[in-house]
Amino acid sequence: MAEQKKGGLSPILGIVVGAVLMFAGMYVSKDVKIEFLESLKEQGIPLDPGKTLAVIGVLLILFPVIRIFFIDPLMEAINGRNSELEKTFSEAEALRTEMTQMKSDYERRLAETEASAREQIQSQVREAQELRKTLMAEASAKADEMLRKAQEDIQAEKSKALTEIGVYVTNLSLKATEKLLGENMDSEKNRRLIDDFLASTEAKN
């Protein structure tokens, strides 16, 4: 508070002192005659202390006026501009920090997304491999089943063919025996004897 009062009285005091010096200088310059100064003036060295005092008084009046109407507003404008610049710098720094945070969040989310996509791809690859194994196992089982069935069919056809061959050989043997003996050999007993003979022959083979 004391500094404000002191700062407020200084311009007024300067104006008052300047006014006193100005009027005193005008009075001295107009009404006071100094022989020493007159002799200097005659020698070509004009000195007028009154005008000098008046000029000093005018300067003392002008300095506070210039300060009040020019320097102080200019300083206020400069300070205001500095405050605005500091505020702008603070906002820019805050924005930069926010952008850095947003960049970090974006990079983190991108990394998480890439990791999730990579995990999904690996999971799908594993599922495809499992499906491939399953299909191969099913195909192998079907192939084994078809092979077993084919072997059974072959064995059945073989047995059927052997049976048919046996019947044919039996009939052929009966006919040959009939021709040799001149008798009818087509009896159940004779047929059974021939079948037993052929069966024993196949067993030995």
* pLDDT tens, residue by residue, 2-47: 444 444 456 777 777 777 777 776 766 665 555 555 565 565 555 5
CA atoms of 175 and 44, how far apart (whole Å):
185
Q: Which of the two residues, 32 and 118, has the higher pLDDT score?
A: 118
Residue that is written with structure tokens 């067993």 in the block: 203
Torsion angle (degrees, nearest 10) of CA 54, 56, 61, 66 = 130
CA of 29: how far to CAs of 22, 23, 24, 26, 54, in Å? Answer: 10, 10, 8, 5, 9
